[in-house]
Amino acid sequence: MSWGNKVRLTVFGESHGPAIGAVLEGLPAGEPISTEEITAQMARRAPGRDASATPRKEADTPKIISGLLESRTTGAPLCAVIENTNTRSGDYKSLRNVPRPGHADYTAYVRYGGFNDVRGGGHFSGRLTAPLVFAGTVCRQILRRKGIAVGAHVLSVHGVTDPPFCPADIPVSLLDQLSSRYFPTIDPKAETAMRAEIEAARQKADSVGGVVECAVAGLPAGAGGPLSGGAESLFSSILFSIPACKGVEFGAGFAAAELFGSENNDPFFFDQEGKVKTKSNRAGGILGGITTGMPIVFRAAFKPTPSIGLPQQSINLKTGRPEQLTVKGRHDPCIVPRAVPAVEAAAALAVINLLP
């Protein structure tokens, strides 16, 4: 179902249907939207644009069919449609009976009584992150003019790590720089090592997962609210809508569970301009569900792509018997770098809904 109370996102489409797309309701009117920026972010998400990614090339050119006039938002719902090209109906039909482990094939079969579009994962395809990236890019442009920047990097791939953000001091320039790259890491050597890890998985016909770390800088203090109105609830509900995301943590996150309170509490101070800040930022910019004015920092864990070339144990729902399954075709051995723009997009949508 659609998401958001202030700026509402509705995503539609199936991987091998005519088109996918998004509707954004509640956008402020008069905001200039750059299609170049949209194209650039869509390209970061699209497979085949980068050496480490899947071979299927997707055009992914969103066509905005409402809500934009002379490159500015009109205030009416903004709808973009992305046509599916190169769809192959024949490829996936047998999947109906033999569900791929780790995919939504079986659960969607039960949920929709077998009527869901199973081709390419249908509405459950990772391809559905394209409308999310589109929507997030629209929101980011609006936020950027308010001084709010969103950026993320690949924190780890299969255990190979990049250094984490220094959470109490994240320059906007770093976020801007990260959010323009295909395989963003803080340490260039990390990228090299991660690419090697991904290539090794590819050669085994296997796949690997990883963690994306994201930050939002420039947010004022005082946005959000207690209990289910809190920033963490808002962020996590859209982050977990990204396929393959299985964990979300804010600030010190799970590591906070191993600290003393005296270590985890962030001491307050006034900076030179008299602004309230904290020396550390283990809260990840959120206390009591409300922004502190420090950067929001969170991490999202992605499981390894369930699509692998190795034979797997499954079942045949028709015959009621076990069946070994080997999924043909080429697979993307790691979606983590391409998940970065989706995470940033989700963060931008959360922020635009968090602001008063």
Contacts of 259 (CB under 8 A, 6+ apart): 252, 282
User: Taking the complex as a whole, how short is the minimal distance between the CB of residue 173 and its own copies, in angstroms?
Assistant: 26
CA dihedral for 214, 242, 219, 261, sign (positive or negative): negative
Number of neighbours of residue 165 by Cβ within 10 angstroms: 25
Tokens of 346: 């989700």
Q: Which 262-291 residues touch its own copies, going by CB under 8 A?
A: 262-270, 274, 276, 278-279, 282-284, 286-291
User: Taking the complex as a whole, how short is the minimal distance between the CB of residue 216 and its own copies, in angstroms?
Assistant: 15
User: Taking the complex as a whole, how short is the minimal distance between the CB of residue 139 and its own copies, in angstroms?
Assistant: 15
Measuring CA to CA, which residue among 69, 77, 80, 78 is closest to residue 30?
69
Q: Which 201-240 residues touch its own copies, going by CB under 8 A?
A: 201, 204, 206-211, 221-230, 232-234, 236-238, 240
Contact predicate 92/70, CB 8 Å: no
Tokens of 173: 């320039």
CA distance to 24, 32, 34, 80, 352, per residue, from 75 (Å): 10, 12, 16, 15, 15
User: Taking the complex as a whole, how short is the minimal distance between the CB of residue 241 and its own copies, in angstroms?
Assistant: 4
Q: Which 1-20 residues touch its own copies, going by CB under 8 A?
A: 1-3, 5, 8-14, 17-20
- Which is nearer to its own copies, 65 or 196 (by Cβ)? 65
Contact predicate 337/52, CB 8 Å: yes
Q: Which 33-62 residues touch its own copies, going by CB under 8 A?
A: none
Tell me which of 33, 46, 53, 81 binds its own copies, using CB under 8 A: 81
Longest dimension (CA), the chain: 72
Beta bridge partners of 73: 68
Tell me which of 62, 67, 136, 151 binds its own copies, using CB under 8 A: 67
User: Taking the complex as a whole, how short is the minimal distance between the CB of residue 164 and its own copies, in angstroms?
Assistant: 13
Q: Which 149-208 residues touch its own copies, going by CB under 8 A?
A: 156-159, 201, 204, 206-208
Tell me which of 29, 51, 59, 196 binds its own copies, using CB under 8 A: 29
User: Taking the complex as a whole, how short is the minimal distance between the CB of residue 176 and its own copies, in angstroms?
Assistant: 26
From CA 207, how far away is CA 221, in angstroms rounded?
A: 41
From CA 219, how far away is CA 238, in angstroms rounded?
A: 18
Q: Per-residue x/- marks for its own copies, 315-344, CB under 8 A?
A: x-x--xxx----------------------
Q: Which 117-146 residues touch its own copies, going by CB under 8 A?
A: 117, 122-124, 128
Q: Is 71 one of the binding residues for its own copies (CB under 8 A)? A: no
Measuring CA to CA, which residue among 81, 61, 64, 72 is closest to residue 27?
72
- Which is nearer to its own copies, 164 or 247 (by Cβ)? 247
Tokens of 284: 């990840």
User: Taking the complex as a whole, how short is the minimal distance between the CB of residue 20 and its own copies, in angstroms?
Assistant: 7
